[in-house]
Amino acid sequence: MPTTEEEWRARLTPEQYRILREAGTERAFTGEYVDTEDDGTYRCAACGNVLFTSDVKYHSGSGWPSFTEAVSPDAVTLIQDLAHGMVRTEVRCARCGSHLGHVFDDGPREAGGQRWCINSASLDLDRG
């Protein structure tokens, strides 16, 4: 796994670097996995850590891939994010520390009430 930002830049696309390493956000409704319904496992695009499964993905209408939960609490790290005058919970990969997105409490109540709003560029889908 890369240990310097130069190594991360060499490994990731410029868009992935901006999102994963600089906590950026892709524009709504532009990501590869927004409307994907394929079965599989979603991994961190930076390090391959397993993060989500397709059976907890849903269409939230937010413009980003949304999930009701992570594959396990150990897969992610949650951090309070006070940027942009908001109080949010940032989601980072527990293995490499890369920014994935945010988690909100406005998800489907019947599935626990959380909406894990994740950037497509932060994910790789292992189909099958």
Domain architecture of the chain: domains with CATH: 5-127 (2.170.150.20)
Cβ(107)–Cβ(60) under 8 Å? yes
Q: Is 73 helix (H, G, I), strand (E, B) or coil?
A: helix
Query: Which of 108, 53, 106 has its CA nearest to residue 75?
Result: 53
The amino acid sitting at 121 is A
Task: Count the neighbouring beta carbons within 10 Å of the beta carbon of residue 113.
Answer: 12
Which pLDDT does position 1 carry in this prediction? 84
Alpha helices in 1-128 (DSSP H): 5-11, 14-16
CA 64/CA 73 separation, integer angstroms: 21
CA 104/CA 88 separation, integer angstroms: 7
pTM over 0.85: yes
Place of tokens 């520390």: 97
Pick left, alpha or beta for residue 41 (phi over 0 → left; psi -120 to 50 → alpha; otherwise beta).
beta
Residues catalogued as catalytic: 117
Weakly modelled stretches of the chain, pLDDT under 50? none
Which pLDDT does position 90 carry in this prediction? 97
Structure tokens at 18: 């901006």
Which pLDDT does position 2 carry in this prediction? 85
